[in-house]
Amino acid sequence: MAVGRYIFAGLCASLVSIGLARFAYTPLIPFLIEAHWFGASDVLFLGAANLAGYLIGAVMGPTLTRWISRVSLLRLMMLAVSASFLACAFPVSVHWFFAWRLVSGVAGGTIMVLLAGTILPHVPPSRKGRASGAIFVGLGIGVVASGTIVPLFLAWGLREAWIGLAMVALLLTCASWFAWPAHGVSEPAGLPSSVGRVSPAKSSVKLLYVQYALMAIALVPAMIFLVDFVARGLMAGAQIGAAFWILYGVGALIGPPAYGFLADRLDGQRAAAGVLTLQLFAVLGLATFHNLVALGAVTLVVGSFPTGIVPLTLTRIHEIIPQHGPSQNSAWSLATTAFAACQAIAAYAFSAIFSISGGNHRLLFLLSSAPLVIAILIAAGPRILGKGVYSTTTTL
């Protein structure tokens, strides 16, 4: 029963800090421009503020726990997201808006770094994959909400939409306030300090950082350009484009529990190899298919990737670094930082390529297959790189 409460708190946190704070901005972009709150170039600049803040939060989150408890910091970050939504309802200036979008990103990065280490120690080892999938399904709910609830709020007005998001975020913050674990879980008594420990700098963990960073690069084109590809690239119109974004969101809902279950049934490494191969075929489908039904099917698969790789990577970390929470938390923090940095860089790089190529969406999807191929080779691990590289018994 307690574990269920903790998972609910984690789901609320991921929904507020990433699901809403990041993805709810996408459907608001054209309305911000049409309402003359900001120019088109300013809106894109403001969109990057959340990604920049996410990187800052991923870096500084673990440091903040020296002065404030994990649970208190998580609650504070959820409140910060609620405040940022409310502040964005009043377009005082570009700098004001940027600052609050940055705050929402910092909160998202901080929560993403701390969330798993706060809840998963309370979950039995055999259920960690499914538990992490349940926690991070909030990301998928946020994508679906951005295509469904946000348009309902916009029917009342742009300012009202921001206020509505603030109220939803605050409601979720309050609902989860007393659901968090009261204390951490210590290591089992009598466990030698060297057993199960591995330095976050060891080769196996370094490869995982590279793999997670490659995943971050691969997911950017679909996440940013999918709707525009369908609406303008295929000339299907804005309504069909919005429908594809909802399909993407449904995939994002399926991803965390499905990938988490897969990681529990197999192991993190084999599950990652299978998922990455499936994603490779899906993005190649986006680059080549013309039929809308076929594109809809691969959109569901592609949508499962950004949210589903979180529990998958967490499971792999727990396999490489068994039974040592501090090392696991450190590794997850570094992995999240690598992910955030590469995602931000890739967003600007793919945008530049899109501009230079004259708006060639399919080229971007084709290019996103390259990091997936490299990630698959890393996931193949022992057969290609040697069994010793992936040993989970390395000691400091």
Closest listed residue to residue 289, CA positions, set 388, 365, 373: 365
Predicted local distance difference test score (pLDDT) of residue 196: 43
Please give the C-alpha separations between residue 302 and each of 152, 200, 250, 276, 290, in angstroms, as whole numbers. Answer: 26, 30, 10, 10, 16
| Residues 317 and 332 sit within 8 Å (Cβ to Cβ) | yes
* pLDDT score of 42: 76
**Residues comprising the chain, all counted:** 396
**DSSP 8-state secondary structure symbol assigned to residue 196:** T
Domains and their CATH numbers in the chain:
1-180 (1.20.1250.20), 194-396 (1.20.1250.20)
CB neighbour class for 355 (10 Å; exposed up to 12, middle 13-18, buried from 19): exposed
How much is the pLDDT for 159?
93
The predicted pLDDT at position 191 comes to 37
- Report DSSP letters for 105-174, one per residue: HHHHHHHHHHHHHHHGGGS-GGGHHHHHHHHTHHHHHHHHHHHHHHHHHHTT-HHHHHHHHHHHHHHHHH
Write the Ramachandran bin of 333: left for phi over 0, alpha for psi from -120 to 50, otherwise beta.
alpha
For the chain, which residues score pLDDT lower than 50? 184-196, 201, 384-396
Quote the pLDDT of residue 8: 93
Q: For residue 344, which phi and psi values (nearest 5 degrees)?
A: -65, -45
